[in-house]
Each structure stands twice: as C-alpha cells, then as structure tokens.
Amino acid sequence: MAGLAERRKEMLDEFTRGAIYEAAVNVLTQHGLGGATMDRVASEAGIAKGSLYKYFRTKRALLEFVHNRAIEPLQKRLSELVDQPLPAVEKLRQIVRHWREHLVQNRPVFEFLVNDRAVQSLVRDSEMTARALAVHQIASIISQGIQQGAFRSVDPRLVADMFIGAAIGMVEHEFSSGRVREVDEATNSLIDIFVNGLMARGGTTVLPSARERGGTQLPGE
C-alpha cells in the first residue's frame, strides 16, 4: 500500500508539473517576462498560488524549469542516438531533423526563450549545462566518424561546439527575420555545410601556412 500511495503521489506531482509548464508557457508567450506573474501562472494552471510556490519559489526557478522541460525531448533523443548502430553522418542528420521538428512544434516557447535577452540572462546557467552535455555527446559522434574513416582528423569537441553554435545561430536568425525554414531545407543545409564544406568540386584548397598562422598547427598537419 505504501508503494501504491507513493506512486500515486509521484503521478500527481508529474501531472501538476505538466500543468504548471503548460500554464507558464501560455502566460510567458502571451504576456512576456514582465507580465508573467506567479499569480497569473497559478491561475492558468488551476492551482493555488501557495501550491505554485511549493514547486518554484522564484520566477527564475520557474523559467529554468520551462527551459529545461522545453529541451528535455532534444536531450533524450540525442542520448538515444549516440549509442545506436548508425553511421556518424546519419546520426548528425537525425539530430538536426529532430531539433527542427521539435522547434516547429513548440515554436512559441522557443521564440520566447531565444528572443528575450532578459530571459536568456536568467536561464544562462541551465543553458550552459545543457550545451556542455550536448557538446560531449556530439563530440563522441564526431569521434566515431573519424575512427570509421568518414571524417578527417579534427578536434571533436571544437567541431561539436561549432555544430551546435551553427544550429542555434540559424534558429536565432530565423526568429529575428520571421522566416523559419522547412525541416528538410534546414537539415540538408546544415549537414551539407558541415559534412561537405564550402569547397566546390575540383576547387583548390588555400590555407595559410603554419608560419603565417603564428606556428599554430591545423589538425592533420
């Protein structure tokens, strides 16, 4: 009986958190950060203000919860893909595709998180933690591609950070311009640049020498 009661409590807790998330997203996207009072969120969620404070004592804690819950499916899918028996390129393609599909399905909350500078400041710690994990996981996929001969020798963590930066930068630009690319277009564009590069077929690679770079060696030199 004790186990059943505990399970019911966990289910109620998860249900309440889900209701709070949906309410917070609605209030934040409709009223902005300044108009998103705890009273409004509690009312939207159908719970007492005191109950909301039991879960989140500050607006910042609530924002971090919204941020983490919004990206949770992305983290889960990335973790699943890392260990799947797929070529590295296909893993990267599926990551980008899932990111874009999730973005389109949840555009209001991501547009709010990306466009509001005050919000970005408040959730920076959560964002950096999530990014560090993603860099680590994508770097392992880059390393897989190098070991299998699909990718040339590069710094996996550096490329992973660039990959994530490009994906985020594309989203930020689209939100600011008001034009969100179709999933296929965005996926193919990003993967094509990272896998095939900018060089035209038969083009001549022109890179500065190590001396011109101040002695810095490029990977593979």
| Mean pLDDT value across residues 195-202 | 76
* 162 and 111 within one domain: yes
Q: Are residues 164 and 188 in the same domain?
A: yes
C-alpha span between 183 and 190 (Å, rounded): 11
How many other β-carbons are positioned within 10 Å of the β-carbon of residue 160? Answer: 23
Contacts of 139 (CB under 8 A, 6+ apart): 156, 157, 159, 160
- Express each pLDDT in 26-78 by its tens digit: 999 999 988 999 999 999 999 999 999 999 999 999 999 999 999 999 999 99
Is 205 within a domain?
Answer: no
- How many Cα atoms within 13 Å fall on the side-chain side of residue 16? 16
- When pLDDT is averaged across residues 142-168 and rounded to a whole number, the result is 94
142 and 182 assigned to the same domain: yes
Domain range for 52 is 8-57
Can you give the pTM of this predicted structure? 0.81
If asked whether residues 102 and 24 sit together in one domain, one would say no
d(CA 74, CA 166) in angstroms, rounded, equals 16
**Claim to verify: residue 115 and residue 173 sit in the same structural domain:** yes
Check whether residue 82 and residue 135 sit in a common domain.
yes
Q: List the CATH number of the domain containing 20.
A: 1.10.10.60
The pLDDT of residue 215 is above 70: no
Query: What residues have CB less than 8 Å from 91, skipping those under 6 apart?
Result: 81, 82, 84, 141, 144
CATH number at residue 107: 1.10.357.10
40 lies in the same domain as 84: no
Domain count, the chain: 2
Residue 199: band (very low, low, confident or very high) from pLDDT cuts 50, 70, 90: confident
Judgement on whether residues 105 and 162 belong to the same structural domain of the protein: yes
Q: Are residues 29 and 108 in the same domain?
A: no
